[in-house]
Structure 1
């Protein structure tokens, strides 16, 4: 009689400790490397940021005042340039862009502008005005590009009781004017 010996089948224990250590390190590294949201940044300059900075006299010092009643464009030395009252549909961004383009045509080297923003102005309106004063869409060689207006934007707060200036009336001429 012959005995049949069965081979004992023993299964080797898997050692996955090294693999688990790798996963513990790899998963957080991969998660940290992911971009969860794309944030667009706008560089701002606040008045008085740079102490000891030399003041250079420029030919025009533009200020755009943004309040719920409308938008004013002024030169801090020469006074009011334009008043754009808000309509039923909101602020007149097209007229603002048009005015700024005409100013840029007269002062092509000017790159800075100051936004005076009222406390009641909502965030979306502020961002739209900032985009409007920074650039404008232009067609060059049958492609749409962004033309530069005033990319260096500074922000200041407008007083709470700030009212929109009255638009300049056309100058009257003749008898009794």
Structure 2
């Protein structure tokens, strides 16, 4: 008699355990990486006035000069409003903020300001100055919010030989 040999038919199982282990590790790592790759942008304007163009008499043009010797707040009509020399080798950003708050109380509808920056100023100092020009922390109803100063910041180059003036110490 003939024996029938049955061929063993086996279905091999697919082992996906290593793949699942990889996914379990890879998905959280990619999700965490997305949080750290956010980019903050600061919108800038550049002064539209041409060098030969004259200002109108009723127009207030606020300028903050950021130079290695300190800060200077200027007005198109009155000239220097306040001079803020370095304090212990650091820029006086607190004095700048207080000066701008006083100006904002007098002219609340004004939102633009020009920041003249010397070529010798480093990037972090520039960004800190721009942040101080835009807003200040204010306490409203027992919570800290950002009060608006001059959110429309325009950048300009300060003259290379610019120095602080000795006048305009008071605001």
TM range (shorter): 0.7 to 0.9
Alignment of 1:9-158 (within 5 A): 9=9, 37-48=37-48, 59-158=59-158
| Structure 2 SS opposite 1:115 | strand
Structure 2, unaligned runs of 5 or more = 15-29, 50-54
CA distance in 2 between counterparts of 1:104 and 1:126 reads 21
CA distance in 2 between counterparts of 1:5 and 1:169 reads 107
CA distance in 2 between counterparts of 1:41 and 1:168 reads 34
| Number of equivalent positions | 147
Is contact 2:80-2:167 (8 Å) kept? no
Q: Equivalent residue for 2:167?
A: 167
Tell me which stretches of 4 or more aligned residues in structure 1 moved more than 6 Å.
none
The alignment's C-alpha RMSD in Å is 2.8
Q: TM-score scaled to structure 1, two decimals?
A: 0.73
- Residues 1:106 and 1:137: Cα distance change in structure 2 (over 3 Å): same
- Residues 1:107 and 1:168: Cα distance change in structure 2 (over 3 Å): closer
Residue 151 of structure 1 deviates from its aligned partner by 0.3
CA distance in 1 between counterparts of 2:169 and 2:106 reads 23
CA distance in 1 between counterparts of 2:169 and 2:47 reads 33
